[in-house]
Amino acid sequence: MTDTVRAQYEAFPYPERKPTDERKRLITGSPSLPVEMDHWLWGGARNWSQPLKALVAGGGTGDALIQLAQKLTDAGRPYDITYLDLSQASRRIAEKRAEVRKLQGITFITGSLLDAGEYGPFDYIDCCGVLHHLPDPQAGFDALSAALKPDGGMGLMVYAPHGRAGVYPLQDAFNAALKDLPPEKQLKAAKRIFDRLPDAHPFKRNTRVVDHKNGDAGFYDLLLHSQDRPFTITELVGALNMAGLDYAGAPEPMLYDPVPLLGATPDLDPVQQMQLAEDLRGTFKTHIAYARPKGQVIAPPYNDPEAIPHLRDVEASVLAAHVAKGKGVTIDTAGEAFSFDIPARAAELIARVDGKRSIADIARSDADRDVWVTVESALCGAGMMHYSKVLV
């Protein structure tokens, strides 16, 4: 990472966070939710009694670190997490957040993710919003891959081009006009220029990008970054493959399926189908993905009687009550509504989901298991349900 980028994050740690806010909320998201990690990386069957040795590479102000440590603490599972970032200002915020929550088992290191191998090997690596800012992103993919255990996995996020329409011309313009100024003066000048931009500018018409409205750090990271390249899903899978990794899945796999838009299955390989979906939808701001060493991808345990489902972001009783009305389920994500025909009878099955019961305990008859398939298809496809034994 260049000195210019390092100076940015010393001046404007990103994302903007107040450590005292940890007393009233936990920020959650993909990747690095333990149940989601288990679902995509270990077939929903990881032995969580064994400590998870994890790396948060380019940890910033600590969102992924705090989420992972708190979720494992809540589940009573052992862990050893290494936080690694070049920005001392960001590290201080992450440390204070962990201190407020009294989280243990964390080692804080100021350094480059290119040196990740010095601290591993790791069962799991989180790397969100960092690889696309490296002078040589492939070197970052390679370094993280080399730091993984043979049965380990990675959760990562990189920017995608289509949903960030208008961002890159503005980055180019601001960097050309303001590159000789220190970060604080760049920000002030860019805000003045931004206010003069025509309403027809592609960025101002892009309602899906809002980071510039979320404080100075968000504005700077989005529009003044000096080193930022997006990845299509094809480019992301290619970078993973070059690093000796295979793509293992995405939190919302239905978004990468072009069939609902085409009305038919195209004669394309899996990556080409995902790219077609990305191009047709045109809304992806990021790609969030899980990856495993080549040849080691384990499919999620769909319809496996021993698999244990967990719901995400909804209470089982609330979802069951909705399904009982017989109207199916509609899920809104990425600016698109997906509707699923889940029979009312599925309500009693959904009500039994508690993160401890297996499918065999939930769907006890052949008829129940037929109904469960409709629940699984809808909720797993939308990222609302995952399989994991983290609580067992």
The DSSP line for 41-104 is HSTT---TTSPEEEEEET-TTSHHHHHHHHHHHHTT--EEEEEEES-HHHHHHHHHHHHHHT--
**179 exposed, middle or buried (CB, 10 Å; 0-12, 13-18, 19+)?**
exposed
pLDDT at 250: 97
- What's the pTM value of the predicted model, to 2 decimals? 0.96
For residues 219 and 261, state if they share a domain: no
- pLDDT value at 205 more than 90: yes
Confidence of residue 336 (pLDDT cuts 50, 70, 90): confident
- Say how many domains are in the chain: 3
> Contact 158/231 with Cβ under 8 angstroms?
yes
Residue that finishes a domain, picked among 223, 241, 272: 223
For residues 44 and 130, state if they share a domain: yes
For residues 216 and 241, state if they share a domain: no
Mean pLDDT taken over the chain: 96
Residue 302 inside a domain? The answer is no
- pLDDT value at 335 more than 80: no
Residues 334 and 255: their CA atoms lie apart, in Å, by 8
For residues 216 and 250, state if they share a domain: no
pLDDT at 227: 93
For residues 339 and 236, state if they share a domain: no
Residue 392 inside a domain? The answer is no
For residues 133 and 261, state if they share a domain: yes
Residue that finishes a domain, picked among 201, 223, 245: 223
Residue ranges with strand state E in the chain = 52-57, 79-85, 106-110, 122-128, 148-159, 245-249, 286-293, 309-311, 329-333, 336-340, 385-387
For residues 320 and 207, state if they share a domain: no
Confidence of residue 276 (pLDDT cuts 50, 70, 90): very high
For residues 338 and 210, state if they share a domain: no
Could you tell me what percent of the chain has a pLDDT over 90? Answer: 93
Residue that finishes a domain, picked among 269, 293, 317: 293
Mean pLDDT of 107-119: 97
Residue 304 inside a domain? The answer is no
- pLDDT value at 309 more than 70: yes
Torsion of CA 197, 202, 207, 211, to 10 degrees: -60
Q: How far is CA 275 from CA 81, 138, 237, 292, in A?
A: 34, 20, 10, 20
Half-sphere exposure of 119 (CA within 13 A, CB side): 26
For residues 203 and 155, state if they share a domain: no
pLDDT at 1: 53
Provide the domain limits for residue 352.
Answer: 309-387
